[in-house]
Amino acid sequence: MNKPTCKACSALAKAIDAYIAKVDDDLEGELESAGYAEASESVAGASVLEEEITKILGDQSEALADLIKNAGSLEKAKALLDQFFDDDETREKLENLFKEYFSDQLLDLANDYIKESDGQLVVSTLRARTTAWITNWSGQLANLMQLTSKTQMETILQNALDNGESVESVRLKLQNAGIRQEAYRARTASLTEMLRAHSVARQEAIIQSPAVDRKQWRHSGTAKIKPRENHQAIDGQIKPKREPFELTGADGGTYYPMYPRDDTLPPEESINCHCVHLPIVDDDVLAMSLEERQALQQKIIEEDDGEWEKELDARNRALSGIDDE
């Protein structure tokens, strides 16, 4: 990556932090400068996602406020939390929202990103494993957010009990004071998932492009935003396009993400990560005719779909306790 692009990434990192803090609206321009596709549409989509998440979490807070009021005491309300979250539909609403968001974003973004390596190719379909990722990650993300909500509410009630607060005081805080930080959680989640969508789409384009044989991790932070030193340490790392990068986590563990914000990474390595990964092009492939490159692209998709089907079958057999030996 050349120096102007690195400077653009640094500016993007600042804009991301500012966006989360809601102190300016420079994110769209910085995304575009850093080479992100469909910057305007992406920011608009993230804003809509943020609004929808805020509403869903706000509705949950209203329901929790009603629970506390009807329980009559904070002790009883706390005892009823497990049943509340078992019956609550917030998780399903979030899952459907994320699934719709990723389904709307990935194909168009992948089609834009394949132009980085081959301006004539089109991404008209996603590989089966990427379609499965949309479903799987949407469910996992909804589960994580629901677990956070439950843990958060348990803490709120316990603190209120410890401080001798009244039922009405806690109820009003849930309704009016933003004690659960719904808007901030929604803003952080929407931005993280918007950037994750770009990473997944770029990886899809990298895989589908016959002209790409390797990929490179690029860090885009600056000292002013307290960058992750371990992410800085792998800046410039190059791997074959189907192999993961190797990242030493802040916790000392070793992780193998296929791209920045890979969902295999723990939250502390993904949330607010500003890194990107870029294709490395084989010019010999670009010298082939368009028809040859299109045929190679289709072969890549078909072979990967076949491998994915085998992986799923092996996984299902293992879960069923079937021994292939």
Tens digits of residue pLDDT in 191-219:
999 999 999 999 999 999 999 999 999 88
Q: What's this model's pTM, rounded to 2 decimal places?
A: 0.87
Tell me the two tokens of residue 129. 């494993």
Q: How many CA atoms lie within 13 A of 226 on its CB side?
A: 2
In this predicted structure, what is the pLDDT of residue 224?
43
Give the model confidence (pLDDT) of 262-302 as tens digits: 999 998 898 878 788 999 999 999 999 999 999 999 999 99
Give the model confidence (pLDDT) of 138-174 as tens digits: 999 999 999 999 999 999 999 999 999 999 999 998 9
Rg of the Cα atoms in the chain: 22
Domain ranges of the chain: 36-210+290-316
The band of 325, judged by pLDDT with boundaries at 50, 70 and 90, is low
Among residues 57, 153, 117, which one has the least CA distance to residue 284? 117
| Strands (DSSP E) found in the chain | 212-218, 238-240, 247-248, 254-255, 276-281
Give the model confidence (pLDDT) of 75-131 as tens digits: 999 999 999 999 999 999 999 999 999 999 999 999 999 999 999 999 999 999 999
Cα four-point dihedral sign 62, 67, 70, 75? negative
Give the model confidence (pLDDT) of 313-324 as tens digits: 998 888 877 765
CA distance 320 to 325: 14
Only one residue has tokens 């890194």, namely 275
Give the model confidence (pLDDT) of 30-70 as tens digits: 788 777 899 899 999 999 999 999 999 999 999 999 999 99
